[in-house]
Amino acid sequence: MRVQAAVLVFITVIAVPAAAQWNVGFEINATHYRGSSGAANESSGPTTVRPANATTFGVRVDRAIGGGRARLGLQVSYATVGLTAAAPDLTLTDNSSGEVLEGQLLLNFQVVGIGSSGAIRAELGPSLHLWKSDDETRSRAGVVVATAYEWPIASRFSGAIRLEGMLSKSWFEPGDLPSELERRVTWRYGIGLGLRYRL
């Protein structure tokens, strides 16, 4: 089903007239993870084990649709992500292992224009991330919502500040966690700075 959806979106993008506007860009994002597990009962151990906060590096490409006010695009990002164990008075983070590759299919549309060329835009779409820890790779599907302020820098270049939120099921499988913890949804928020180029 995921493959069929990806093929459908790809065909949709290719079917847009060749004169449509393309944008490519690079983004660096400070991400903060929460959830993924939580205390099932009161204990002296950790109250949560979750993915550690990370810095992601991403590339994106999108294409104007619907007269130019909306865009359909793809963003791919990479980060090294460890694990954080948190208790009321102590937080321990292990960043020695763990990598995440994430892809997002995004519908992007203008909410309001600012000045002659600036704009606030909103984004929504599915995401798929691959988490590699030790010798095991797990996939998780989720949903992403974001808002961004874009402004012109020079010629075909523009800058962007982007606020993002993501929700997916727990990164952990049954048996991964001690008995005092239970799996919960994973959620993430972050802020990124991007540079984009209009082709």
User: What's the pLDDT score for residue 90?
Assistant: 86
What is the pLDDT confidence band of residue 20, given thresholds at 50, 70 and 90?
low
What is the pLDDT confidence band of residue 13, given thresholds at 50, 70 and 90?
very low
Residue-wise pLDDT for 86-105, tens only, equals: 888 888 998 877 899 999 99
Q: Tell me what percent of the residues of the chain surpass a pLDDT of 70.
A: 87
pTM more than 0.85: no
User: What's the pLDDT score for residue 134?
Assistant: 78
What is the pLDDT confidence band of residue 19, given thresholds at 50, 70 and 90?
very low
User: What's the pLDDT score for residue 8?
Assistant: 43
What is the pLDDT confidence band of residue 10, given thresholds at 50, 70 and 90?
very low
User: What's the pLDDT score for residue 95?
Assistant: 83
Residues 6+ apart with CB under 8 A from 62: 22, 23, 71, 72, 73, 74, 106, 108
DSSP type of residue 97:
S
Taking the domains of the chain in order of start, what are their residue ranges? 2-198
Looking at CATH, the fold of the domain delimited by 2-198 is given as Porin (2.40.160)
Residue-wise pLDDT for 110-155, tens only, equals: 999 887 778 999 999 999 999 998 788 999 999 999 999 999 998 8
User: What's the pLDDT score for residue 45?
Assistant: 65
User: What's the pLDDT score for residue 109?
Assistant: 92
Phi/psi for 11 (5° steps) reads -65, -40
